[in-house]
Amino acid sequence: MNQPDQTISDRNGKGEVLLSVRDVCVAFGKNTVLEHLDLDVYRGEILGFVGGSGTGKSVLMRSILRLIPRQKGEIRILGEDYDAVDEAKKIELDMRLGVLFQHGALFSALTVRENIQVPMREYLDLPKPLMDELAELKVAMVGLAPDAVDKYPSELSGGMIKRAALARALALDPDLVFLDEPTSGLDPIGAAEFDELIARLRDTLGLTVYMVTHDLDSLFSVCDRIAVLGDKRVMVEGTIDDMLSFDDPWVQSYFRGKRARMIPDRKQEPVMPTDPALMQASSQKSEAT
């Protein structure tokens, strides 16, 4: 079984492995997209998953979520091999995962409230008043105004759609959240605020985040570790500093190119939210502490 070309960061002391991918292969006909791929995601971290166009970043995420089949390999979630457990355990594991797809994937005929309640209705048996209360709580949690809960997706801006979709991903209080290009289509301020939201939710809820992204700002500002996909497998994983020192032409051009040099050190100077709902949520959190 192949390991990444270089595992730079020492894994000692990183704690529980929440997601383990071993020797995974995915092919579409004769086209092999992923081959002998290994990856670990640790509890409490934000992992950024990057790679060139067409390398299979979203394919791996969808394979982990069993939305597309894999030809080979083992995927363990919370220590459990999903393929080996019974149906009841599969449901239990499914409930501990949340997903935000690239364009939100909200149901257009449902309100934000009803979209958030979809996983509740699928997995839980709760009275409607309680589901309504939970939906309103999730809306507040992602920084949307209270009246957004009864709006339809067509009435929302792009940034609001992303937040509503994130609220749905958090509906069942998951341990592990998958984000597919979460800042794609957002302006720089909106993207920075969304990054801040993800970091804050990780800290307050104890989330683990698997983020497929091409956004260098996100990688520099909120990701604890980064995994780079290349040649059908994870070629390197580590911190931003590790990426900057890794001797590979694509990695160097990506992390040291013109676009990367334009990024301020947002880890040192956090972006303050300008969205009124986020400002209120941030203020309430400060008062609580």
Give pLDDT, residue 102. 81
- Residue 209: the pLDDT is 97
Q: What is the mean pLDDT of each run of 10 residues along the chain (289 residues)?
A: 42 74 93 93 95 84 91 92 90 93 88 96 94 96 94 93 96 95 90 94 95 90 93 91 89 78 45 44 43
Give bridge partners of residue 49 from the DSSP assignment: 212, 227
Any idea how long the chain is? Answer: 289
DSSP reduced 3-state for 289: coil
* Percent composition of the chain: helix, strand, coil (DSSP 3-state, to 5): 40, 25, 35
User: Where do the DSSP E strands lie in 43-96?
Assistant: 46-51, 72-77, 80-81
Q: What amino acid is encoded at 202 in this protein?
A: R
Collapse the DSSP code of 123 into the 3-class scheme (helix H, G, I; strand E, B; otherwise coil) and give the result.
helix
pLDDT value of residue 286 = 42
Report if pTM > 0.85. Answer: no
Residue spans of alpha helices (H) in the chain: 57-64, 87-94, 112-123, 128-141, 158-169, 188-205, 216-221, 240-245, 249-256, 258-261, 276-288
Relative orientation angle of helices 128-141 and 112-123, to the nearest 10 degrees: 120
> What is the Cα–Cα distance from 262 to 241, expressed in whole angstroms?
16
Of the candidates 16, 52, 58, the one whose C-alpha atom is nearest the C-alpha of residue 211 is 58
Q: Residue 101 corresponds to which tokens in the numbers above?
A: 């797809």
Bridge partners of residue 76, in order along the sequence: 20, 81
May I ask the CATH architecture of the domain 6-96+174-288? 3-Layer(aba) Sandwich (3.40)
At residue 38, the 3 state secondary structure works out as strand
